[in-house]
Copies of this chain bind each other. A is one copy, B any other.
Amino acid sequence: MIKVVGIGSGQVKNLTLEAIEAIKTAEVIVGYRTYIEWIQPLIDQNSKAQKIITTGMTGEVKRCQAALEASRKGENVVVISSGDSGIYGMAGLIYELSDSEDEIRVIPGVTSSSIAAATLGAPLMHDFVSISLSDLMTTYDLIMKRVRLAAEGDFVICLYNPRSKGRPHHLEDALKIIKDIQGDDLVVGRVTDAGREEEEVAYSTLKEFDVQDVNMRTMVIIGNQNTHMHHGKMVTPRGYRL
């Protein structure tokens, strides 16, 4: 049995009871090195003589194959994803590599946009899109087309993987598309290391937003036309008559 477990921010308080239970009772724990470090306090409470399988950031296929192999030997395996394992997480790859005999369960977690939104205020009260700016798996053109359509629909926009050394200009390009359609007064929130001790949060308008403040661990949330600052927090009204 493989459980694909979302660990949210990685802080123990942000995990669900089911995720905690899965980690505490696993015989094999598979995950990206940093994520394993985050949940070490839980692993230390695991009474089984467990095996840890880690690889670097781009070792996803190898990690999932190792997990499936262990599970086929009858071991109780947990695969770790940050945020929700079902949103840009490891659940898909495990299924893709599985055959019909493999027993798989996805244990959902709190996704990164929810964690960032909770810090920012309440930006996700209305229809929103999640777009990853990583072009490792999607063409640049499709990413930018999706950004344009999202802006045309006045969706709140959550940008996952907004910036890395390999693609410094994607975020700038995306923000320009949004500005051209929506104007540059939109409220933008950014949260780096959301929900962790080193969390850093800031608000601005699209006009003042500086892409230099963003790295791979930042979530950028761009409001819709109704999003505004309210006593220092970013709020998208749901539309109740007050």
Interface residues of A (CB under 8 A from B): 6, 8, 12-18, 20-21, 60-61, 84-89, 91-100, 102, 104-111, 114-115, 117-119, 121-132, 136-138, 142, 145-146, 149-150, 152-155, 230-231, 233, 235-242
Partner of A106 from the list B118, B138, B239 (CB cut-off 8 Å) is B118
Minimum CB–CB distance from A44 to chain B (whole Å) comes to 16
- The answer for the CA separation of A111 and B110 in the assembled complex, in Å, is 7
Closest-by-CB residue of B relative to A128 is B130
Contact A109 B106 (CB under 8 A): no
22 of the cross-chain contacts (CB-CB < 8 Å) are A14-B17, A16-B17, A16-B110, A86-B117, A86-B123, A86-B124, A87-B114, A87-B125, A88-B124, A88-B126, A93-B240, A98-B231, A106-B118, A107-B118, A108-B110, A108-B114, A126-B138, A127-B132, A137-B239, A138-B239, A149-B152, A150-B153
In the complex, are the beta carbons of B21 and A114 less than 8 A apart? no
